[in-house]
Chains A and B, each alone.
With several copies, the nearest count.
Chain A
Amino acid sequence: MRVGVISFPGSNCDDDTLNALAALGVEGVPLWYQQTELPPVDRLILPGGFSYGDYLRSGALAAQAPIMASVEQAIATQAMPVLGICNGFQILCERGLLPGALRPNVSGEFLCTWETLRVVSVPQGFVGLKTGDLLRMPIAHHEGAFAVEPGFLSTLFDQGQVFLQYSDPDGQVHALTNPNGSVANIAGISQGSVTGLMPHPERAMAQYLGSVDGRRFLKAWLGEEDQ
Chain B
Amino acid sequence: MTFDLIVNVAWKEEILDPAGQSTTKVLQQMGYAVDNVRIGKQIRLQVEAQDQDRALEAGREMAKRLLANPVMETYTVQVVEA
Interface residues of A (CB under 8 A from B): 52-53, 55-57, 60-61, 64, 66, 93-94, 100-101, 103-108, 147-150, 181
Contact = CB atoms under 8 A, between A and B. Distances in A.
B14 interface: yes
Contacts, number: 55
B69 A61 contact: no
Nearest to A52: B22
Interface residues of B, number: 17
Given A148-B71, A149-B71, A64 B66 contact: yes
B16 A52 contact: no
Interface stretch (B23-31, B46-54, B74-82): B23-31
Which 9 pairs from chain A and chain B are nearest by CB?
A: A55-B19, A101-B71, A61-B26, A55-B22, A106-B18, A52-B22, A101-B72, A108-B19, A108-B18
A60 B9 CA distance: 14
A94 B16 CA distance: 19
B67 interface: yes
B72 A105 contact: no
B14 A64 contact: no
A181 B16 contact: yes
Given A61-B26, A100-B71, A101-B72, A55 B18 contact: yes
Contacts of B30: 64
Contact of B69 (A60, A66, A106): A60
Interface of B: 14-16, 18-19, 22-23, 26, 29-30, 39, 65-67, 69, 71-72
Contact of B19 (A56, A64, A93, A150): A56
B15 A56 contact: no
Contacts of A52: 22, 26
A150 B72 CA distance: 10
A88 B2 CA distance: 36
Nearest to B11: A103
B68 to A, nearest CB: 9
A149 B70 CA distance: 9
Contact of A103 (B16, B65, B66, B67): B16
Given A57-B69, A105-B18, A108-B22, 12 more contacts: A55-B23, A56-B67, A61-B23, A64-B29, A93-B71, A101-B72, A103-B16, A104-B18, A106-B18, A107-B18, A147-B15, A147-B71
